[in-house]
Amino acid sequence: MKKRVRNVFSRKAQIWVETVIYTLIAFIMIGIVLAFAKPKIEEFQDKTIVEDSVKMMEDIENIITEIDRRGAGNQRAIKLEMKKGMLKIVGFDDEIEFVIDSRYKYSEEGTDYQEGNIVINTKGKGGLNTITMTRNYGSKYDLTYKGMNDMKTINPSATAYNLIILNKGNSVDKTIIDFEIK
């Protein structure tokens, strides 16, 4: 006597099981692609931010040079759009510094790289790189923030900052350049 083997799953159940399995496989494949693509996308975004930051530092330098040339009392405003990183106005060292943690490696790690008057240094930190851009004005300018030789840190913001740069005249042998956020 032959025994009939009964089909445990009905045809409809089999279709649903296959659909769930195919969907899971698709999600796993998307996850694998994102695991490799997301860091590269972030690195590309960081590269753009770093290059824009170098341009911002050059723009600030050009404004300082222009208001120095035009004399005491002259001022200019610049809009700073900072989605990532920190801009530091270091009055006691007479320098401007921009620091960003990035997936992008701008220069050789641990070596100073000169781009115009800006010194750029990259340091590895885990999976990220800390890129520091520094422009020292100490030989020609006395940098202040609201008249004080302190350090002012400008943090990332969704809205643009309005940075006012003012020539306050000369003190001894340096031109006083004052900064203020409006």
pLDDT band of 155, cuts 50, 70, 90: very high
Please give the pLDDT value at position 77.
Answer: 93
Q: What token pair was written down for 89? A: 């106005």
Of 96 and 13, which is predicted with more confidence? 96
For residue 119, the cross-strand partners are 114, 134
Reading the block at residue 96, the tokens are: 């401007």
* Amino acid 171: pLDDT: 79
Q: What is the pTM for the complete model shown?
A: 0.79
Task: Write down the pLDDT at residue 61.
Answer: 93
CA pair distance 171, 141, nearest whole angstrom: 9
Tell me the CA distances in angstroms from 30 to 21, 22, 35, 148, one per residue in order.
14, 12, 9, 54
- Place 3 in a pLDDT band, splitting at 50, 70 and 90: low
pLDDT of 124: 87
pLDDT at 117 over 80: yes
Q: Strands, E, within 81-173: which ranges?
A: 86-90, 95-102, 112-115, 118-125, 128-136, 141-145, 151-154, 161-171
Quote the mean pLDDT of the chain: 88
Q: For 63-110, how does the pLDDT look when each residue is reduced to its tens digit (9 = 90+)?
A: 999 999 998 899 999 999 888 999 999 999 999 999 999 888 888 888
For the record, the structure tokens of 72 come out as 């005491």
Task: Please report, for the chain, the start and end positions of each structural domain, with discontinuous segments joined by +.
Answer: 11-181
What pLDDT is attached to residue 6? 54
pLDDT for position 156: 92
pLDDT at position 8 is 55
pLDDT over threshold 60, residue 151: yes
